[in-house]
Chain A
Amino acid sequence: MIEVTEKKDYRLVTNEMRLEFAAVSDNEAFARMAVSAFIAPLNPTLEELSDVKTAVSEAVTNAIIHGYGNRGRVTDRVQMNCELRGSILEVEVVDRGVGMEDVNRAMEPLFTTRPEWERSGMGFAFMEAFMDELEVFSEPELGTTVRMYKKIGLGGWIVSEE
């Protein structure tokens, strides 16, 4: 894993969760449901909920099929760390798989290393389209960390202002 953790300022953090699960495709749905449940108290709109679920699904699928080569080993692990700062959601998806030489190339729409698996090459493009911000850190042989941010619903903003 790439060390991207800087000293954390917890003063603004209102909620946090960390998950680790096996890199098997059943857990794509699990990760989406977990993040939905995590942001539920913010009263996200259906649109926001779909946006976050799609982005998380893309990141977790990437970790499972590209990071760990789709080998379905239970000992391969994906971490999903979520954090709320008021109404700002941060989701981090971390794998310790093969990593990437050229992150910018991987992020180009339609680029895929796995055309034989019918990957559309739209994963990063969807993450960028549905979240407010996207950061990708990767190192060959060490793994990949995807970090995404999105502001969630006015409902949550009103609650945190009270």
Chain B
Amino acid sequence: MDEDYKVIDNYLMIRMPAEVDHHQSVDISKRADRYIVSKQVGNVVFDFERTTFMDSSGVGVILGRYRKISCFGGKVYAVNAGSRIRRLLLLSGLENIVELVEK
């Protein structure tokens, strides 16, 4: 849903859904890229507050957005990432790519 996407200054905030799988990921990537291009945001913030499930498709979403914005000096952030999501990011070697933000 579009209310889960918000642009604040140079940051695109995305409220991730409860279940981040391949089915959901396709839509998230598409919407996020639309905002990145049309609003010309430099950074992306993924909010995992609602997320109770994620698989490697979610890793693909983060990596894909990182590739799109990092060449312009942008960064990706994760907020409200629980231990489970942190473990997935660590296993995928994303700890140097995603900045974990404590709330």
Contact = CB atoms under 8 A, between A and B. Distances in A.
Interface string A105-128: 000001000000111111101100
B63 interface: yes
B22 interface: yes
A120 B60 contact: yes
Contacts of B55: 54, 57-58, 61, 126
A6 interface: no
A118 B91 contact: no
Interface residues of B, number: 22
Interface string A14-40: 000000000001101100100000000
Interface string A123-160: 10110010000000000000000000000000000000
A89 B64 CA distance: 34
Q: How large is the interface on A (under 10, 10 to 19, 20 to 34, 35 or more residues)?
A: 20 to 34
A118 B25 contact: yes
Interface in A39-62: 50, 53-54, 57-58, 61
Interface of B: 19, 21-23, 25-26, 29, 53-57, 59-61, 63-64, 84, 88, 91-93
Given A57-B53, A120-B57, A129-B91, 14 more contacts: A28-B21, A57-B22, A58-B56, A61-B22, A61-B56, A61-B57, A64-B22, A110-B93, A118-B25, A120-B63, A122-B56, A122-B91, A125-B92, A126-B56
